Amino acid sequence: MRPLEGVAFALDFLAENVSPQIAWDDRRKMMAETREFISKGRLDALTDGVFAFAMTLLVVNLDLPQDFHPSSAAELISALLGLGGTLIAYVVSFLVLASFWLARARTREEPESASGAYAWSLLFHLFFVTLLPFSMIVAGRYNLAPAICVYGANMVLLASTAIVITLVIEHDTGRRLVPSGRLEYGLLIASAILSMAIGFFSPDNAMYAYFLNFASPLVRRWTDRV
């Protein structure tokens, strides 16, 4: 083969094989950029910040009255024991937020770019995250059915928006999330509804219904076997 013929052959090969691949890669990048509603990195940073702030606010609600001045150790211990309802609400709320954050941090199938549906579903989810410290203090301070319902509704909406996020991720990536976490979110919704029902009969014991979520690993194993 002559040198000029070799150069021509190489150019023809590049035009037929490499150039289409480059063009396809460019088209994919352009499509991804078109679908991107907002920077995924900025959404992740916002999510971490909101979770960190909400989890910090939870413990701020564990306080004694400013005008409380105990005159003895027994009086102080009695006041601390009086925070039992708020403490239970704090433990439940912290564990729920921690589990939501861990689930997001461990998800490997998230889209590379943030579509409008993904961004808005995540923002709605964060809205209910920011409400949790308020609903926690309501349920902790007032052992009444409406207070339990406020907290329970917050939990239901928190889990529901998390389910929506998983569905949006599957739609945007075209892949099924394994695990999706929807079983755990469904168990949280069920325990919240049970807690609200118990609140109408025994508000003091309503918060204990959320400890059913500790059974989620056992439920997951059982469903995997089935």
Q: Give me the pLDDT at residue 99, please.
A: 86
Q: Give me the pLDDT at residue 32, please.
A: 47
| Phi, psi (rounded to 5 degrees) for 95 | -65, -40
Question: Any alpha helices (H) in the chain, and if so which ranges?
Answer: 3-13, 19-35, 40-60, 73-81, 84-106, 116-141, 145-173, 182-199, 216-225
- Rounded CA-CA distance 148/154 in Å is 10
Q: Give me the pLDDT at residue 226, please.
A: 52
Q: Is residue 22's pLDDT more than 60?
A: no
Q: Give me the pLDDT at residue 66, please.
A: 64
Q: Give me the pLDDT at residue 24, please.
A: 43
Domain ranges of the chain: 1-35, 38-225
Q: Is residue 219's pLDDT more than 70?
A: no
Q: What is the pLDDT of residues 57-104, one digit of tens each?
A: 887 776 666 666 676 777 677 766 666 667 888 888 898 898 888 877
Q: What is the pLDDT of residues 153-212, one digit of tens each?
A: 999 999 999 999 989 888 888 888 767 788 889 999 999 999 999 999 998 888 889 888
CA 142 to each of CA 63, 139, 150: distance values in angstroms, whole numbers, following the listed order:
15, 6, 11
pLDDT exceeding 70 applies to what percent of the chain? Answer: 68
| 159 token code pair | 């889990």
Quick check: 209 and 191 in contact, CB under 8 A? yes
Q: Give me the pLDDT at residue 182, please.
A: 84
* AA identity, residue 104: R
| Pairwise pLDDT comparison (47 vs 32), residue with the higher score | 47
Q: Give me the pLDDT at residue 137, please.
A: 87
- Rounded CA-CA distance 212/29 in Å is 45
